[in-house]
Structure 1
Amino acid sequence: MRKKIIHILNTGTYSGAENVAITIVKNMRLQYNYDFIYVSLEGDIRNVCENNDIIFAPIKRMTISEVRRIIKQYKPDIIHAHDFTASVICANSVFRIPVISHLHNNSPWLKKYCFYSFAYLLSCLNINKILMVSKSILNEYVFGNLIRNKSIIISNPIDIYSIQQKAKLGKRKHSVNPVYDIIFLGRLSAPKNPQRFIEIISQVKENYPDIKVAMIGIGPLEDECINLIKEKKMDFNISLLGFMKNPYGILADAKMLCITSEWEGFGLVAVEALSLGIPVLATPVGGLPDIINSNCGALCKNNDQFVVEICKLLYDSVYWHEKSKNAFIQAQHLHNIQKYIAIINEIYCRDILERSYN
């Protein structure tokens, strides 16, 4: 008999955590005896699910009553909740259904004794397993030692060959796309700090007045970014491309990717760039130090370090080619899709087995 797994998220968009959930579903339903339902708020994610033949069950809000309505309708064997809010709500909505909490980022409140950190700790009493995309989440959580026995550090599912194929498709579809020197790829929101990226490009422009940059993504800081670009007189240099279903064709033609995040979970976009031979410059937060090294990019602690490294990559083609070659090599080391899916299956099987004995 096929088992039912619900993946539940407190968003309606398509970004990092959503990509992980979709990847798990697409790979596991072909190899194992599971049926999946994707549960979230309404939004662009509905189209993503429909395009991938995944059952989409919308909820009005992330509340206990809504989650219980979904449970009553689908009768899942396991609930796989992504990030903190969904984990807390699901843990308080179920009885005798295993809950997996999958944490994709290390929000600042993790480091504090506050309502949110206490709420998650109490919810862990009804959570069977906690998956964390980097060890920094466990190390920075103020109650990390109390949940260590339930926790597993597991990166993100990485299929570099799928990313490379998407890049080829993207190039064919948009064969007349302009070529950019630098790419920013992520939500225009506080964790990604897009304003800092614009400030860095403003400094680089002093040496490279014709530099071409693309910012791919949408978010609550979009208007602020538009105003800052105008204030810095960089309309000619920086293009805001909005959300792109397949940004990999543009990324593959760029010289580098810059990540200016204040905090991160894993940092999947860095691996995606490395898969395409694109050097990555990033802040040393979350899982990024485990992905990026000086051979394939650079970890930059301040704006000056970003500017120096950007200028060197733009100026020195030999230096860039060496970093690009090593980016491919690093991506091959990080490729893990089959191993990752096997680990998730093992966790599912263990939780279902434990439930049958209770």
Structure 2
Amino acid sequence: MTLKKEYITVLHFARWYPNRYDPMYGLFIQRHAEAVALYGEVGVVYVHATTDPLIPKRMEVCYHLENGVHTVRVYYPVSRCKPKQIGQLTGMIRFYKACNLGRKRIAREMGKPDVVHLHILTRMGIWGLYYKWIHQTPFVISEHWSRYLDRTGSYQGWLRKYFTRMVVKNASYVTTVTQNLAEAMQHHGLTGVPYQVLPNIVDPVFFNPPLINSKTPNLKTFIHVSCFEDKSKNISGLLRAVKLLFEKRNDFKVVLVGNGMDFDKMKNYAIELKLNGKQVEFTGLLQGEELVTQMSQADMLLVTSHYENLPVVILESFVLGIPVLATHVGGIAEIVDPSNGLLIPPGDENELVARMDDFLSGVLKFDSEMIKANSRLHYTPQTIGQQLIDLYRKTLMRNDVD
């Protein structure tokens, strides 16, 4: 299908973005940029501090055209200056110097942007102010970080808060992945600007999953997909609940997909709980078609987080017609309802065991085809891309009025 170009030129500054060291980092931002590229001209600047000895003292600027997106990644060495305060200042200077190199490289490809789009505050805020005050170019913000939520307690520091309020006040719009995150930001005084909820995009490969004929009769599969950071994802609590349920019945298995800082720790914890490989399988990181194939074989997704915004894996599950058993945290309740899943209190392992047991016993039932049909129109690149183009158009109209 040929999509009409709107000829809006948008420059994204992304605090998180897939890179040579982590292909999953900020993947949802990349998908947003690629969705906009269906309709307009798009550039992305991402900078990355690294201890890689192969990175020279001078910065490495890498340009690629990726799925229609002009993409510049700038790699620079981490500051090793002492004392700590000098190192932090040096690191900040290098960060902004790298961003400046990136935006100049993008300008050679697409000229001056019509709109600037910032992803993740606070550091990137300076570029929104720069383009607005120096070039009269309006900017919008997309915030994805859960630090504004009370449970994390990580939005601190008077200087950070002051500068964040200044940036938000000067933005044309702020988008968040959930209403819950928007309200949390407003609670911190980040007001005076319209907010809009903008969902994440589901990878198109999920819309055409393979036909699965390998399911074992009378054996249901629960799946968990995460970055294996136990403090937030509570994988240890999930494993304890699984252990309790296996003491009662054995007509199920659990597949844990992903990699991260606590991957080995969780594998060892499963061994400590005497959970064998037939009961609990750790696949490691899966992407694209491999992930779709693995998830397509599941009967229910488990999300046991202590805090979240809205995990894209829930949207991916819905597109595949898979119901979700999730903790009632963040914005999850905004999309999980009795037709597509069930919510439980965070940290309540007994409740998790009971609801998994209900699902296995047939007490909890869901219509897979209905789940699939109700979600497939909402999370495509075309749908979200058009929403962003509409947002940019409104931004330009507001800027003309101002």
Normalized against structure 1, the TM-score is what?
Answer: 0.81
1:23 maps onto 2:63 in alignment: no
- 1:70 CA displacement: 1.4
Change (3 A) 1:73 1:355: farther
Worse-superposed segment, 219-228 or 110-119: 110-119
- 1:134 CA displacement: 0.8
SS at match of 1:277: coil
Change (3 A) 1:101 1:108: closer
Cα distance in 2 for partners of 1:347, 1:270 equals 25
**Corresponding residue for residue 182 of structure 2:** 138
1:311 maps onto 2:357 in alignment: yes
**Corresponding residue for residue 284 of structure 2:** 242
SS at match of 1:156: coil
1:59 maps onto 2:99 in alignment: no
**Corresponding residue for residue 344 of structure 1:** 388
Task: Give yes or no for contact 1:107–1:263 (8 Å, CA) kept in 2.
Answer: no
- More helix, by proportion: 1
**Corresponding residue for residue 372 of structure 2:** 328
Q: How many corresponding residue pairs? A: 345
**Corresponding residue for residue 46 of structure 1:** none
- Letter paired with 1:218: N
Cα distance in 1 for partners of 2:105, 2:377 equals 42
SS at match of 1:310: helix
Task: Give yes or no for contact 1:134–1:154 (8 Å, CA) kept in 2.
Answer: yes
- 1:288 CA displacement: 0.9
- 1:129 CA displacement: 2.2
Task: Give yes or no for contact 1:192–1:261 (8 Å, CA) kept in 2.
Answer: yes
- 1:204 CA displacement: 1.7
**Corresponding residue for residue 3 of structure 2:** none
Which is higher, the Rg of structure 1 or of structure 2? 2
1:36 maps onto 2:68 in alignment: no
Change (3 A) 1:57 1:255: same
Change (3 A) 1:41 1:340: same
Aligned partner (choices 69, 73, 76) of residue 105 of structure 2: 73
Change (3 A) 1:335 1:142: closer
Change (3 A) 1:106 1:51: same
Aligned partner (choices 235, 242, 245) of residue 204 of structure 1: 245
- 1:197 CA displacement: 1.9
SS at match of 2:387: helix
SS at match of 2:75: coil
Task: Give yes or no for contact 2:13–2:124 (8 Å, CA) kept in 1.
Answer: no
Worse-superposed segment, 125-134 or 269-278: 125-134
- 1:283 CA displacement: 0.7
Task: Give yes or no for contact 1:64–1:93 (8 Å, CA) kept in 2.
Answer: no
Aligned partner (choices 8, 11, 29) of residue 14 of structure 2: 8
- 1:340 CA displacement: 2.8
Task: Give yes or no for contact 1:177–1:250 (8 Å, CA) kept in 2.
Answer: no
- Letter paired with 1:22: Q
Alignment of structure 1 residues 1-358 onto 2, 5 Å:
3-11=9-17, 12=19, 13-15=22-24, 17-19=26-28, 21-30=29-38, 32-37=39-44, 39-41=46-48, 52=67, 54-60=69-75, 63-75=95-107, 76-77=112-113, 78-85=115-122, 87-88=124-125, 90-91=127-128, 94=131, 95-96=134-135, 97-107=137-147, 114-115=156-157, 116-141=160-185, 143-144=187-188, 146-147=190-191, 149-157=193-201, 162-165=205-208, 167-168=209-210, 181-189=221-229, 190-209=231-250, 211-236=252-277, 237-246=279-288, 247-301=291-345, 302-316=348-362, 319-320=364-365, 322-332=366-376, 334-335=378-379, 337-352=381-396
Deviations 1:88-146 (A, max 9, x none): 45446654343322112422566757215444223324433211111111222364554
Task: Give yes or no for contact 1:7–1:81 (8 Å, CA) kept in 2.
Answer: yes
Deviations 1:250-302 (A, max 9, x none): 11111110001222222321121122121100011122111111222100112
Cα distance in 2 for partners of 1:292, 1:156 equals 15
Could you tell me the percent identity over the aligned residues? 17
Task: Give yes or no for contact 1:255–1:314 (8 Å, CA) kept in 2.
Answer: no
